[in-house]
């Protein structure tokens, strides 16, 4: 991996660059979805790609999510490597049948003869005052689908390498992009083609007091909480899961065992959210090391509120993470 | 099947009673007034993301006024004019677009449904609403609207088929404004007219010049009467154009030309109708000014009402998720009410 030169990019630019490189490198790669061509996507993630790679490789589809997923499945069966965009993750619902009944099952159904190297990208998550259903975090549904992988990057530099890995992967990968980070997150991003392994969690900060675990848009929230805690002399570990399926349980459990206290942070509804899975894994694999119950900081058991004036109360913030931290430290 | 857009205004015909024509004009002008104000409020940060309907007034108002009082509208998100013409108070609509809880769940008795965001899901629902009326011995008709892009979704097709099979009293309005955000109709489908699809489901399909208020109104009336007589659904396709961006955060110059927009501006449904009224001596500059003053006054009154809505309470986040709160909502409710979060309150 040659990674000498870097530039500061935001998440939109980093993902755009990854798509550009993938299109250039492998002519089986196709990019399509609603408004991705001419407009360059509603968030401009695919900006310029159609002009550069042509209308047969980067194209607009009719407005039909089930159609987009079905098309991707067929293209993959036929040997292509489709990268489909769903305009907002909250609009995956019309496509759930394609995902649950087909995309995730095909390898198993064909006894391993047909794999579907499909990547589905979708923006998710709140914090930017979007209308109803534009802030949903549907990762738990996807993780509960056998046969698909789920990746949620937390920074531009990680996103670029992870997306290129996802496109190279022989199995279907959902690649969820936190809307809050699109222009909010900026980082040094290496030039050129590089991949980062799927299925690996990373420890982004280390401390002895407790372990904070999250992904995507919640990583910056955890880091903010960690900064505040540090000022009070409390050092915490922050784990960015990055890939939810397959989960890097080793890194997770090791980080929890080292501190004995764990808090999971996610912006979906609390009940049945992916944080519950993490808490269960910790109970299964590290119960002897726990000095306090595993806590969850999550959304409430309600739809993500479209009501601008109170939406910030739904999405976890550093203050709530700190409150949970106080709880586990004083248990 | 031969299809041709129904039109009157261009040919100088005046097929309506004068009172009806004036009613149409006032409702369209009022809708445009709202649309312009809404965009301004959005720019001032006093409204959330807003999807303008400018240019589509004839399509929406024409259908709304063709309905009886007991009939329902089931709009998509671009249909503020349909809601206004059906009688939704302006302050409620403003609160809706302010994403304020008080603007959600329309007032008791209003025969219309909140617009929602996922495209086409309202189509089969409208069919159900229409059938409910039949079960209950009511003769209400349901007008449901969708954009040209939305007709690509599976729900659109399932809904039309259901409506035809059950002979449901529904009027399907497709506002074919040529674009789904940036995607042109030609990329959305390969039929000349969407109304052509009606035949495949077993219902009449009608194409109207959607910028011709008379055409929309008269054809919608026929469809409503047909539905009320128990003869089933109609697919009404209104050929129109949105003169504004997709939403207040869109940039249409990336996907359409100024020339195209200018050409459609000449077909502005409000100017067209006004011209027809003026030619008959039913309207003039002075009446227009009077109307605008009236509208301004009404709007300011309604805006003040909207501004008086109390700040949403934090605990509203978990209210109305179930009829009665479960333990998880109750715990969250109590915490939010106390100004805390669940983590702090445990
Ligand atoms: C299921 C679903 N997919 C995607 C979107 C995002 N989206 C919002 S509006 C729109 C285009 C709609 O076009 P059309 O149906 O023609 O209606 P118009 O905006 O022209 O009134 C899209 C793709 C959505 N709201 N719902």
What DSSP letter does each residue of A269-303 carry, written as one string?
A: ESTTSHHHHHHHHHHHHHGGG-SS--EEEEE-SSP
Q: Among B120, B180, B317, whose Cβ lies nearest the Cβ of A305? A: B317
Distance CA B138, CA B65 (A): 20
Structure tokens at B1: 């099947």
**pLDDT (0 to 100) of residue A2:** 54
Per residue in B282-299, pLDDT (tens digit) is 999 999 999 999 999 999
The pLDDT of residue B2 is above 90 = no
Would you state the structure tokens that stand for residue A224, as one six-digit string? 């903010």
What residue in A sits closest to B151 (Cα-Cα)? A63
Instruction: Give the pLDDT score at A3.
Output: 58
Chain-chain contact of A310 with B317 (C-beta, under 8 angstroms): yes
A243-245 vs A149-151, strand pairing mode: antiparallel
Average pLDDT, chain B: 96
- CA–CA dist B298, B304 (Å, integer): 10
Residues 6+ apart with CB under 8 A from B5: B207, B208, B209, B215, B239
CB contact under 8 A, B329 and A302: yes
Mean pLDDT of the region B117-132: 92
**Number of Cβ atoms within 10 Å of the Cβ of A192:** 12
ipTM reported for the complex, 2 dp: 0.84
B205 half-sphere exposure, CB direction, 13 A CA radius:
18
Any atom of ligand 1 within 6 Å of the Cβ of A63: yes
Decide: B177 in ligand 1 pocket, CB within 6 A.
yes
Does ligand 1 have an atom closer than 6 angstroms to the CB of B79?
no
What is the Cα Rg of chain B in Å? 21
CB-ligand 1 contact for A34 (6 Å cutoff): yes
User: Residue A290, CB half-sphere, CA atoms under 13 Å: how many?
Assistant: 18
Beta bridge partners of A296: A264
Q: What's the gap in Å between A171 CA and the centre of ligand 1? A: 29
- Ligand 1 centroid vs B253 CA: distance in angstroms? 18
| Closest partner CB to B314 (pick from A271, A310, A323) | A310
Q: What is the pLDDT of residues B321-331, one digit of tens each?
A: 988 998 899 99
Lowest mean pLDDT among A13-17, B101-105, B217-221, B229-233: B101-105
The pLDDT score that the predictor gives to residue B343 is 87
pTM above 0.80, yes or no: yes
Q: Does B94 touch chain A (CB under 8 A)?
A: no
- Work out the pLDDT band at B346, boundaries 50, 70, 90: low
> How much is the pLDDT for A4?
75
Nearest CA distance, B291 vs chain A (angstrom): 33
Phi and psi, residue A298, nearest 5°: -150, -175
Q: How many Cβ atoms from other residues are within 10 Å of residue B86's Cβ? A: 25
Q: Which residue in this structure is represented by tokens 């949970």?
A: A324
| Displacement of CA A150 from its chain's centroid (Å) | 7
> Which positions of chain A have pLDDT values less than 70?
1-3
Tokens of B157: 């097709």
B101 at the A interface (CB within 8 A)? yes
pLDDT for residue B1: 65
Instruction: Please list, in sequence order, all residues whose beta carbon lies within 8 angstroms of the beta carbon of residue B151, skipping any fewer than 6 positions away.
Output: B120, B174, B188, B189, B194, B197
Which atom of ligand 1 lies nearest, measured to the CA of B181?
A: 11
Residue at token pair 């154009």: B241
**Torsion, CA B279, CA B280, CA B286, CA B292, rounded to 10:** -90
What is the spatial distance between Cα A84 and Cα A118, in angstroms, rounded to a whole number? Answer: 8
Cβ contact B179:B244 at 8 Å: no
Q: Residue B219: CB within 6 Å of ligand 1?
A: no
Q: Which ligand 1 atom is at minimum distance from the Cα of B76?
A: 21
Percent of residues, chain B, with pLDDT higher than 90:
93
Quick: pLDDT tens for B37-81: 999 999 999 999 999 999 999 999 999 999 999 999 999 999 999
How many pairs of residues across A and B have Cβ atoms under 8 Å apart? 138
The pLDDT assigned to A61 comes to 94
């Amino acid at each position: 991996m040659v990674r000498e030169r870097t530039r500061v990019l935001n998440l939109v630019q980093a993902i755009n660059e990854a798509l550009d490189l993938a299109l250039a490198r492998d002519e089986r790669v196709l990019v399509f979805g609603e408004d991705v061509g001419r407009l360059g996507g509603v968030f401009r993630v695919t900006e310029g790609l159609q002009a550069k790679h042509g209308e047969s490789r980067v194209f607009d589809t009719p407005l039909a999510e089930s159609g987009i997923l079905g098309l991707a499945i067929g293209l993959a069966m036929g040997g292509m490597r489709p990268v489909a965009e769903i305009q907002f993750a909250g609009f995956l619902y019309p496509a759930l049948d394609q995902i649950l009944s087909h995309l995730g099952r095909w390898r198993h159904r064909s006894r391993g003869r047909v794999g579907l190297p499909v990547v589905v990208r979708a923006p998710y998550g709140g914090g930017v005052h979007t209308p109803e259903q534009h802030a949903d975090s549907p990762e738990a549904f996807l993780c509960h689908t056998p046969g698909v992988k789920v990746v949620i990057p937390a920074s531009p530099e990680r996103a670029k390498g992870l997306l290129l890995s996802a496109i190279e992967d022989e199995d279907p990968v959902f690649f969820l992009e936190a809307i809050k980070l699109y222009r909010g997150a900026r980082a040094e991003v290496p030039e050129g083609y590089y991949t980062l392994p799927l299925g690996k969690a990373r420890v982004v900060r280390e401390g002895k007091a407790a372990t904070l675990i999250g992904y995507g848009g919640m990583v910056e929230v955890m880091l903010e909480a960690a900064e505040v805690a540090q000022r009070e002399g409390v050092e915490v570990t922050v784990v960015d899961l990055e890939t939810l399926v397959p989960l890097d349980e080793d890194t997770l459990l090791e980080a929890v065992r080292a501190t004995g206290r764990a808090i999971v942070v996610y912006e979906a509804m609390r009940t049945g959210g992916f944080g519950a899975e993490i808490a269960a894994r910790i109970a299964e694999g590290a119960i002897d090391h726990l000095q306090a119950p595993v806590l969850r900081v999550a959304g409430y058991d309600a739809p993500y509120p479209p009501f601008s004036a109170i939406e910030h109360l739904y999405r976890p913030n550093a203050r709530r993470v700190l409150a949970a931290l106080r709880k586990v430290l004083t248990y | 099947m031969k299809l041709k857009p129904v039109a009157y205004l261009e040919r100088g015909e005046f097929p309506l009673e004068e009172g009806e024509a004036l009613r149409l004009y006032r409702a369209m002008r009022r809708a445009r007034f709202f649309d312009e104000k809404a965009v301004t409020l959005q720019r001032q940060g006093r409204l959330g993301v807003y999807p303008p309907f400018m240019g589509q007034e004839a399509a929406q108002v024409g259908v709304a006024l063709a309905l009886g009082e007991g009939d329902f509208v089931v709009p998509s998100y671009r249909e503020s004019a349909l809601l206004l013409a059906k009688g939704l108070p302006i302050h409620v609509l403003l609160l809706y677009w302010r994403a304020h809880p008080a603007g959600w769940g329309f007032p008791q008795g209003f025969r219309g449904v909140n617009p929602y965001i996922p495209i086409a899901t309202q189509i089969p629902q409208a069919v159900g609403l229409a059938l409910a009326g039949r079960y209950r011995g009511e003769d209400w008709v349901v007008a449901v609207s969708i954009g040209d892009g939305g007709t690509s979704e599976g729900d659109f097709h399932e809904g039309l088929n259901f409506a035809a099979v059950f002979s449901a009293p529904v009027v399907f309005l497709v506002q074919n404004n040529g674009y789904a955000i940036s995607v042109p109709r030609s990329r959305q489908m390969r039929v000349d007219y969407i109304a052509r699809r009606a035949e495949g489901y077993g219902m009449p399909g009608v194409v109207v010049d959607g910028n011709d208020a008379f055409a929309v109104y008269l054809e919608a009336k026929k469809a409503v009467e047909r539905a009320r007589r128990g003869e089933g659904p109609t697919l009404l396709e209104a050929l129109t154009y949105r003169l504004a961006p997709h939403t207040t955060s869109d940039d249409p110059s990336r996907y359409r030309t100024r020339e195209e927009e200018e050409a459609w501006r000449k077909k502005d449904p409000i100017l067209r109708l006004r011209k027809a009224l003026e030619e008959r001596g039913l309207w003039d500059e002075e009446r227009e000014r009077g109307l605008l003053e009236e509208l301004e006054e009404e709007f300011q009154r309604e805006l003040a009402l909207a501004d008086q809505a109390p700040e949403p309470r934090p605990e509203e986040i978990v209210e109305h998720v179930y009829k009665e709160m479960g333990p998880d909502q109750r715990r969250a409710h109590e915490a939010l009410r106390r100004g805390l979060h669940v983590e702090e309150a445990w």
